[in-house]
Amino acid sequence: EADIYQTPRYLVIGTGKKITLECSQTMGHDKMYWYQQDPGMELHLIHYSYGVNSTEKGDLSSESTVSRIRTEHFPLTLESARPSHTSQYLCASSESWGRREKLFFGSGTQLSVL
């Protein structure tokens, strides 16, 4: 199983603050993802990366940005947090064989913006 770590687990912050959600994985996976999920809703892909210096926006538009300077690290940044950013943010990495993929998720960051 992949080891993938997210910090912080919970974050309560005021409007206008800059925040960075950390995500690291120790399995050497090239592919990493950020999903956003609200209760009762599907997971929405907001960013993904297929390797160092590669980042792409996902299906759901997000004001956040990401970077991939090292294989194991994929942080997400919000320059100015707003209450609409309140959500759970899930980081994942994947291993693939042939055309098959399996995602491994971190424990998530529950973000509340007041």
Partner 1 sequence: DQQVKQNSPSLSVQEGRISILNCDYTNSMFDYFLWYKKYPAEGPTFLISISSIKDKNEDGRFTVFLNKSAKHLSLHIVPSQPGDSAVYFCAAIMVGGGSNYKLTFGKGTLLTVNP
User: Residue numbers of the site for partner 1 (CB under 8 A)?
Assistant: 4, 6, 9-10, 31, 40-43, 45, 48, 50, 58-59, 88, 90-92, 94, 96, 99-108, 110
Cβ neighbours of 11 (radius 10 Å): 16
Distances (CA, A) of 11 to 53, 54, 86, 100, 104: 27, 27, 10, 34, 22
CB 61 within 8 A of CB 36: no
Considering the complex, state which of residue 1 and residue 80 has its C-beta at the smaller distance from partner 1: 1
CB of 6 to partner 1, least distance (A): 8
Is 83 strand, coil or helix?
Answer: helix
Closest among 96, 114, 88, 91 to 13, alpha carbons compared: 114
Shortest separation between residue 73's beta carbon and partner 1, angstroms: 17
Instruction: Using the minimum distance from each CB to partner 1, give the nearer residue, 42 or 79.
Output: 42
| Closest separation in Å from C-beta 17 to partner 1 | 22
Nearer to partner 1, 64 or 93 (CB): 93
